[in-house]
Amino acid sequence: MEGLLFINACVRGPRSRTLPLARRFLEMWQQKHPEAVITERDLCRDRLLPQYPEVLEERDTLWSAGKLDDPIFAPAIQFAAAGRIVIAAPFWDLSFPAILKIYLERISVTNITFGYDDLGRSVGLCRAEKLLFITTRGGDFSIPEISWMEMGARQLEALCVMYGIPSFQCLTAQGLDDIRNDKTTIMAQAIEQAEKMAETF
């Protein structure tokens, strides 16, 4: 079993409800794959810069010079090489926190995570067979009337196609900020689901 890359975008850290879900999943997965190495990238610690003009210019210059071994491309190379990928992030403003978007912009590099074939068609270059997105939401976006408003999991699922990752999975606990719901039960059910998903991931 190859290594697992864990992208931690749980901004609230110890107060996060998403993070314990991810930790439980990783714990169970590690038990199942004791030989595999889990590498964590904590986006709050990383503090990658957004692609401001000068950042993008530096990246374009290095890319055009073929310097793909420059540290600026290290996150993309790490992502492309991972055997399994787990991303954990809360549901913010119908999507996920900006730190995750910054990371996704940083790893989306032509000829590292995706490219084009001779006919100009987009091809994914990532090795991972599976990507799991773990998230918790204040509202319940499984309700058909509003499910279209959910933009976080859907964006990641589409990016998996671009990166060539065949299996996208999502683990979510929803409705956690709705006073009509029992948060403890919802979280317990999600933890149980995390344990089940770790069996086959």
Ligand X SMILES: Cc1cc2nc3c(=O)[nH]c(=O)nc-3n(C[C@H](O)[C@H](O)[C@H](O)COP(=O)(O)O)c2cc1C
> Which residues contact ligand X by CB under 6 A?
10, 12, 16-18, 90-94, 136-139, 176-177
**Whose Cβ is closer to ligand X: residue 3's or residue 139's?**
139
CB of 102 to ligand X, least distance (A): 16
Nearest 10 degrees: Cα torsion 108, 66, 166, 90:
-20
Pick 4 or 21: Cβ nearer ligand X? 21
Considering the complex, state which of residue 15 and residue 47 has its C-beta at the smaller distance from ligand X.
Answer: 15
The least distance separating ligand X from the CB of residue 114, rounded to whole angstroms, comes to 29
Q: Which amino acid is at 47?
A: R
Q: Which residues pair with 95 in a beta bridge?
A: 92
Least distance to ligand X from the beta carbon of 131, Å?
19
The nearer residue to ligand X, 114 or 141, going by C-beta atoms, is 141
CB of 175 to ligand X, least distance (A): 8
* Three-state secondary structure call for residue 82: coil
In angstroms, what is the minimal distance from the CB of 13 to ligand X? 9
Shortest distance (Å) from residue 72 CB to ligand X: 29
CA 155 to chain centre: 10
Nearer to ligand X, 75 or 90 (CB): 90
8 A C-beta contact, residue 160 and residue 127: no
Which lies closer to ligand X via its Cβ, residue 124 or residue 175?
A: 175
CB 151 within 8 A of CB 95: yes
Residues 150-180 as b or e (16 or more Cβ within 10 Å = b):
bebbebbeebbeebbbeebbbbbbbbbeeee
Q: Which residue is nearest to ligand X (CB)?
A: 138
SS3 81: helix
Q: Which residues pair with 92 in a beta bridge?
A: 95
